[in-house]
Homo-oligomer: A and B are copies of this chain.
Amino acid sequence: MRLPAPAFRESVAPGSMVDVRRSNLALVLGAIAGSDPGLHPTRAQVSAATGLTKASVSSLVLDLLEAGLLRELGLTARGERGRPGVGLALNTLRAVMGMEINVDYIAAGVLDLSGTILFKEVRECDNRGAQPDSVLAELALLAARARSTVGEQGVEVVGGGLAVPGLTGPGRARILAAPNLGWTDVDLDLGALLPEAPLVVSLFNEANAAALAELRHRPGDDADFLFVSGEVGVGGGLVVGGELFTGPAGNAGEVGHVVVDPGGNRCSCGGTGCLETVAGQDAIFAAAGLPPGTGRSAAMRSLLDALAGGNAQARAAVERAGTHLGIAVASTARVMDIGAVVLGGHFAVLDEWLKGPLLAGLARYAPGRVADGDVTVAAAGEWGAVLGAAGSALRSLVDAPYLLQE
């Protein structure tokens, strides 16, 4: 059984026994959440996995059952010697919602506490330059529909997360800048998305959320990787020790603005020669001699067709993007001491043509640091941001189950 995330919370406040209780509630819940799917651990197994005594586990499990976070299954291990234990599982009648606002769509998805997807819906719409309030209202409608749909099966949504393509913070309810939406300094009323949900809705950068989704698909606890997502811009998310690294103000991971070509073009961020100016969607299309697409799937298809058809200009454009991606990853890998890369967005779609140049770039600029097998394609696909935002709410809940007590 996998041991769960760190238990004791950092604090400058005096510690007392309620902290011990909270820490151990998280420890128990984490042990159950992290057990292999399908294997529903018993109190005795949780006791062995966590090091807590059976008595303590019993008491903690009781609290978690009362909080509605766990449920008891039937007796397990029939056929073995001795009294069979009672299997414990996360309560699948509790759920979290992931939401996303992007350039040309809004989306919502509901995951139950075990991580099963209960609901998924996208609404295509053009949000470029749209009023934040109206987009948020639209999303609230979508969220309400999602909630009532799962509600019919008795599932309660207790919290969620929202992913947006831009810089967030401070205070986790504000978009500082979302250039592709044309939004600047927008305060969001996140509470309106899930009215009366017991937990707050938190805000994420889209690439950070997608990185979190990737984290759930990784084996092991101490994942370390750089997630790089190719979109109109180039986003990134850093996962260090199984945690999203957000930096002091919450906007770490902006790999798209690592300088890869000091003598290069001006970037939308005001800088020069950023990765985005070479490997962003518009840059690749321009270099490939293709018109920039409005709906991203259609445009991407034309690029893929060109590549498959042996179009030299298209191949050169992607190769150039790959090499420069290699430079950015090499620099980031050295600064962050990270040795694995996950490709998302169009980088995932272009994997076949991109990976060679990327590995060549890595070999040239940071030899011996990122092995071939350490460059992988995002598992979560297009739903990464939604699933990551939801998954993050899931994880906060597992790490702080006391929030749902009483």
Distance of A228 from chain B, by nearest CB (Å): 11
Q: A12 contacts which chain B residues (CB < 8 A)?
A: 3-7, 27
Distance of A176 from chain B, by nearest CB (Å): 11
The CB with the most chain B CB atoms within 10 A, among A3, A8, A330, A335, is that of A335
Asked if A255 CB lies within 8 Å of chain B CBs, one says yes
8 Å CB contact of A15 from B8, B249, B366: B8
**Known contacts A246-B337, A273-B365; is-contact A27 B14 (Cβ 8 Å):** yes
Q: Are B337 and A258 in contact (CB under 8 A)?
A: no
Q: A17 contacts which chain B residues (CB < 8 A)?
A: 17, 20
Q: A252 contacts which chain B residues (CB < 8 A)?
A: 335-337
Asked if A224 CB lies within 8 Å of chain B CBs, one says yes
Stretch at the interface among A48-56, A67-75, A298-306: A48-56
Interface string of A315-353 (1 = CB under 8 A from B): 000000000100110111011111000000000000000
Q: Are A335 and B238 in contact (CB under 8 A)?
A: yes
Q: A282 contacts which chain B residues (CB < 8 A)?
A: none
Could you list some 11 contacts between A and B, CB below 8 A?
Answer: A8-B15, A14-B52, A19-B23, A240-B247, A241-B248, A247-B336, A248-B338, A254-B334, A269-B366, A269-B367, A273-B365
Chain A interface residues (CB < 8 Å from chain B):
3-17, 19-20, 23-24, 27, 50-52, 56, 222, 224, 236, 238, 240-241, 246-255, 257-262, 269-273, 324, 327-328, 330-332, 334-338, 364-368
Excluding A14-B51, A236-B335, A257-B366, 16 further A-B contacts by CB distance (< 8 Å) are: A5-B12, A7-B10, A8-B10, A8-B15, A13-B51, A20-B20, A222-B248, A224-B247, A246-B337, A247-B338, A258-B335, A259-B327, A259-B330, A262-B327, A273-B365, A331-B332
